[in-house]
Amino acid sequence: RARGQRRKNRVASSCDTCGVREGFRPVVSAAEEQVRRGFAVVQRSRDPYADFRASMVEMVVSRQMFGAAELERLLRSYLSLNAPRHHPVILQAFSDIWVVLHGG
């Protein structure tokens, strides 16, 4: 039973701080793709919002990622590569970029 419980916890996760619903699965393939196409860098920041936003903008522009599906993959990769405590600021940065690209 403990083994089944562990498996269930690996498949479904949620984040109370950012509102990611139960059943969200981190997209490992997107994270792996991100690592292949670029580098995940661990850093400290005085302004995490500005750093995440700048990083996302750089990815969007350099890879010409303007479609909804591409942007969703980008968001999922940022969420899966970063700790839940960073999810609210990642979602805010992503939302602001989305508004610029696609309007309200």
Who wins on pLDDT, 79 or 14? 79
How many C-beta atoms surround the C-beta of residue 79 within 10 A?
A: 23
Q: How far is CA 73 from CA 26, 27, 30, 68, 92, in A?
A: 10, 8, 6, 9, 16
In the chain, how many domains are there?
1
Residue 25 has pLDDT above 90, yes or no: no
Closest CA to 36 of 90, 75, 81, 71: 81
Q: Rounded CA gap, 60 and 1, in Å?
A: 44
Supply the range of the domain harboring residue 55: 48-103
DSSP H helices, 1-104, are 2-11, 28-37, 48-63, 68-81, 87-102
Q: Rounded CA gap, 92 and 99, in Å?
A: 11
Structural domain contains residue 29: no
pLDDT in tens, 53-67: 999 999 999 999 999
Task: Give residue 70's pLDDT band: very low, low, confident or very high (50, 70, 90).
Answer: very high
Who wins on pLDDT, 90 or 40? 90
Confidence (pLDDT) at 45: 84
Structural domain contains residue 58: yes
Please state whether the predicted TM-score (pTM) of the whole model is above 0.75.
no
Structural domain contains residue 76: yes
Structural domain contains residue 9: no
Q: Rounded CA gap, 104 and 101, in Å?
A: 9
